[in-house]
Amino acid sequence: MIKIKSLVFFTAILLFCLVAGEICIRIAEKFMLFPIGISQCELLWKGNRRWWGLATLDKGQQQSSHYLVSRDAQLFYEPNSWFYGFKSKLENGSFKNRIFVLGDSTTRLRPGSQDDVNYYPQQLESLLNKGASNQNIVVNCGIPGYATVQEVRFLEKKLLYYRPTLVIIGYCLNDKDVKHRIISRNGNYFCSDLASGVTFCPALPFYEDLYMHSELYKLINYYIVRICKTLKRPLSTFDLGAHNTVKALYRLKELSRIHNFKTLFVIFPRLIDPELDESHRQWIQAKLINLGFDFIDMKTAFERSGINGLKLAEDDWYHFNIAGNELIARSLYDYIDNNLKEAVNYGN
């Protein structure tokens, strides 16, 4: 009996210490600029400048803010009221098809309606509505910095209410980067990223979901890895970004079945030597085929047109100019016309 009581007491103390440690680390991260060893996020920022910052991001006090800190832990941030300008169109119009295009800054780089006509979603809408009396609406839901995980979550929490017919997802070949958390620095809020690959010691169990959600676990793993490097012990790498992306793809498949919409992916290579991304490109294609998703890969079309002529700026590897967006819209239109005619009825 004494042994059982001692075991229960020891377990309670251990749990208390773990919870207290987690709380203390999270508090420390809010106030320390570089909490060395506490968060791999800040260590990455210090070494590689892996921040994606939003200077206007705040908690709603500024009317000019384009993005707000989200109450949803998976979204991190979400667009302000400017984004929902499409609501009145949907409420006051009758459309054969409601097409929602999700993506990152390759789908919409800047918020607001003035630039929207330059992006491929609005160009696709124009192609679909030729001779169809505006019977189709294509909504640009691109949010800079989002990865597949956030895009699927945003669809589930914010967009399914509007009953999409087709969901198009622009998949950029950096979408396995892992959104980590919102942090506050000098009055501004930033969304910081983790690297997709996580180093760990194979001799000890590694729990990917625990790593994602526990700062204490990150800290413990960080020091274990340092010790293993010092002792020259073997280390392994877990692709956390791939793990999270696959989970999001399964969720998207389930949502498409429940809410009866078709899904089409469009894969964007970086606008530099496409062979640099070949392994990632093959990986996402294999996952999409395995899950039965329709997709098109823009690599061949980009190379045929000349990649340098599609860049928004000479040193920009990701964002397309008007010619690039036109090419994407035409490719999407052709695919829909040839493969999705039964699901997406358009024209007279």
Residue of 95 and 26 predicted with greater confidence: 95
pLDDT digits (tens, 9 = 90+) for 13-35: 888 888 888 888 777 766 655 44
| Residues 48, 123 contacting (CB under 8 angstroms) | no
Residue of 237 and 11 predicted with greater confidence: 237
Question: What pairing do the DSSP bridges indicate for beta strands 166-172 and 97-103?
Answer: parallel
Q: 53 forms bridges with which residues in the sheet?
A: 190
Q: Tell me the pTM.
A: 0.84
The predicted structure's pLDDT at residue 345: 65
Q: How far apart are CA 42 and CA 192, in angstroms?
A: 8
pLDDT digits (tens, 9 = 90+) for 49-94: 344 444 444 454 444 567 877 888 888 888 888 888 888 888 887 8
Who contacts 144 (Cβ-Cβ below 8 Å, separation ≥6)? Answer: 52, 104, 105, 108, 109
282, pLDDT greater than 60: yes
Question: What pairing do the DSSP bridges indicate for beta strands 262-268 and 294-297?
Answer: parallel
- Give which of 136, 98, 138, 118 is closest to 326, Cα–Cα: 118
Among 174-178, 184-188, 253-257, 318-322, name the one with the lowest average pLDDT.
184-188
Q: How far apart are CA 224 and CA 132, in angstroms?
A: 62
Residue of 205 and 5 predicted with greater confidence: 205
Give the mean model confidence (pLDDT) for residues 146-157.
Answer: 94
Q: How far apart are CA 195 and CA 40, in angstroms?
A: 9
Does domain 53-177+241-339 correspond to CATH entry 3.30.1490.190? Answer: no
The predicted structure's pLDDT at residue 66: 78
115, pLDDT greater than 80: no
Mean of the per-residue pLDDT values for the chain? 82
Among 128-132, 189-193, 224-228, name the one with the lowest average pLDDT.
189-193
